[in-house]
Amino acid sequence: MLRIIRGAVDKMFDLAKQLIAIPSVTGSEREVGDFLAAQLAARGYRVDKQEVEHGRFNLIGFRVRPRVVFCTHIDTVPPVLPLREDDRFLYGRGACDTKGIIAAMLEAGDALRKEGIEEFGYLLVVGEETDGAGAKAANTLRWDSQFVIVGEPTGNKLARAQKGTFMADLKVQGRAAHSGYPEAGVSAIEGLWRVLTDCLNTDWGADALLGKGTFNIGVFNGGERCNIIPARAAASIMIRTIQPRANAEEKMRRIIDGRATMDVIGGADPQIMHIVDGFETTVVSFGSDVPYLGNLGKPLLIGPGSILDAHTANEKVAKDELVEGAALYERLARKLLA
């Protein structure tokens, strides 16, 4: 087990707080990336920066060729939330998604190296919260690793599986008219709403392991003023799928049936993860970088914190969970390297 003493706990909490205090909304990860590069170097790791696009880079840290890779993301969703803490929790943007996780992973690495175990490394990526650009770029590199431990807030349980995703923008073009004479126009809002209502009423499938597929209207807008029949309407939708992404796209096109245009934004198939005896397990409905990291080895998904706190105005992570998470990461790596 992880021999985590008070000084190590304080060091881990201090690192988590420093990370939370650095804004890193997707697209602006450079400052936190530079900070983490220095942290890894100070711990004696060789650090490589993989450019993803100008001013944005992944971090790769290792001492010897890794068989196990600890991987998580350094970007967050907006808006930035200030750091604060009390006796039980750290609060702020990224507290559980995933800056606390980074601190726990680095603490686990410190413990492993004290026992002479060095066949692990770190991959810290940009862009997870939007398009997975960092993970996709990392996957193009040559890896000889056997396992990749992806950090997301799972309540410190190994995820057996995660749902897939399908994201698209829908648009309807109507014809503007004076609202006193609606028969002279065609309401784009009403047209799009009929399409979306059909989507909401559709059965998106069920699976014994993954549960039910779900449909969400994340953004809806249209029209100009209340006295004008709206000539345009648009919506952004996301389906949490239990079937391959292609099935969801095909079903969407059948539902739309020419009544709207659909621009596919992205998505991924459902994922089945590697599990290890002796760890609690769960199934998650959220997405992660797991679908984009196939070249790094068998995927495992685990981390401290609750996904129900992520992306909220009160994002937090329990200090006890961070301590437990560091111990779990250390124990998990040991088993995988045995």
Q: Kindly tell me the sign of the dihedral angle through the C-alpha atoms of 219, 289, 265, 165.
A: negative
128 is catalytic: yes
Query: 149: which strand partners?
Result: 70, 300
The Cβ-side half-sphere exposure at 261, using a 13 Å CA radius, reads 9
| Cα angle, residue 276 at apex, residues 270 and 279 outer, rounded to 5° | 100
- Cβ atoms of 100 and 16 within 8 Å: the answer is yes
Given a contact cutoff of 8 angstroms between Cβ atoms, the answer to whether 93 and 315 are in contact is yes
Contacting residues for 277 by C-beta, under 8 A, at least 6 apart? none
Task: With CA atoms as reference, report the closest residue to 224 among 253, 189, 258, 264.
Answer: 189
261 close to 288: Cβ distance less than 8 angstroms: no
In the three-class reduction of DSSP (H, G, I as helix; E, B as strand; rest coil), residue 228 is classed as: strand
Structure-token pair, residue 162 = 């995660």
Residue 29: both structure tokens together: 């990860």
Identified catalytic residue from 29, 128, 315, 321: 128
Instruction: Using alpha carbons, select from 44, 26, 46, 24 the residue that is nearest to residue 35.
Output: 24
Active-site amino acid positions: 128
